[in-house]
Structure 1
Amino acid sequence: MNSLSKKTIRILSCALVMAIFIVATAFAQFQDEPWKPEQLMAPSVLAEMINKPGSELPLIISVGPAGLIKGSVEAGPTSEKQNLKKLEKLLANESKSRSIVLYCGCCPFINCPNIRPAFSLLNKMGFTKHKLLNLSRNVKADWIDKGYPVNK
């Protein structure tokens, strides 16, 4: 019984070390993102704003391959330098306190090559009310398939 206890303790110790490693890795990844958790916007929140008559809308900018969300303007994929410059030019005359929502939706959020350069640019430019639309899978699954408003 004594050896069983030691074996159990070793297994639990290994499991604990692995759990700590996983949490630390996830935390480090999260810390590397240019946005804070409160800067993520649920798709349902933006859809409600768009659908509410008379609602003051944020500037909605597509930083991916297509501006599908109703009322959005296209900057193009900001993983390409010319489109990042296009985004900078688009925002040059905007108030730093303007509400802005960025989105891409080309692929799963975690792998998107466009959202990080775009969001980092807004941080660098000094914007204070910018958000990132939380399209965790893609714009089709998280927006279109839910019947949220699209450009015609």
Structure 2
Amino acid sequence: MINTKMVRLLLTGLLIVLISFTGIGQSSNTEPWKENQLMPPAELAKIINDKNAHQPIVLSIGPGAIIKGSIDIGPAHEKESLTNLKEKLSKLPKDANIVIYCGCCPFEHCPNIRPAFLLLKEMKFTNPKLLNLQNNIKVDWIDKGYPLSK
């Protein structure tokens, strides 16, 4: 005779193992930004080059303000820089068009973009964007000939 309790226990264990391997129940995106909040570099470059376009507020939250017209905040993983960012943001309307970027390295390794984007969310900004520099500022901006600070 088959012990039904034992069968149930084995099936439950098997189900738990299967769920852990398939990723069911896990969030597919743990980043603080949504896909539609990523701005392609070509789009920002086009806006910067169009003197008639409404210019967003572009904030460098990495090692330096390389993009034309961007404001250097400093590396957002540093407390002083994050405080500086908070002060700058506190003077802006909540619906301001804000684009942040770092460009030190690919997103998965960047220590600056998450604290900065989380601060934008915490402060209830309604239109924050993260410049989608998938590799780094050199490859995704400079090498493409996009506008640079002087």
TM-score, normalised relative to structure 2: 0.83
* 1:120-139 alignment runs, 5 A limit: 120-139=118-137
Specify the SS of the correspondent of 2:42.
helix
The amino acid across from 1:107 in the alignment is C
* 1:13-52 alignment runs, 5 A limit: 21=21, 24=23, 28=27, 30-52=28-50
Structure with the bigger percentage of helix: 1
The answer for the alignment partner of 2:76 in structure 1 is 78
The answer for the alignment partner of 1:103 in structure 2 is 101
The answer for the alignment partner of 1:6 in structure 2 is none
* Aligned length, in residue pairs: 132
The amino acid across from 1:118 in the alignment is A
Which whole-Å CA distance do the structure 1 matches of 2:135 and 2:84 have between them?
26
Aligned partners of 1:63 and 1:114 also within 8 Å: yes
Taking only aligned residues, the RMSD between alpha carbons, in angstroms, comes to: 1.8
Misfit runs of 4+, over 3 Å: none
Which whole-Å CA distance do the structure 1 matches of 2:48 and 2:62 have between them?
20
Deviation readout 1:32-78 (Å, 9 max, x if unpaired): 11101100000000000001121111100000001000000011000
Structure number with bigger Rg: 2
Deviation readout 1:53-107 (Å, 9 max, x if unpaired): 2111110000000100000001100000110000000111100000000000001
Which whole-Å CA distance do the structure 1 matches of 2:23 and 2:106 have between them?
22
The amino acid across from 1:119 in the alignment is F
Gaps of 5+ in 2: 1-17
TM-score, normalised relative to structure 1: 0.82
Q: Percent identity?
A: 51
Specify the SS of the correspondent of 1:31.
coil
Gaps of 5+ in 1: 1-16
Which whole-Å CA distance do the structure 2 matches of 1:102 and 1:75 have between them?
10
Specify the SS of the correspondent of 1:107.
coil
Which whole-Å CA distance do the structure 2 matches of 1:149 and 1:109 have between them?
22
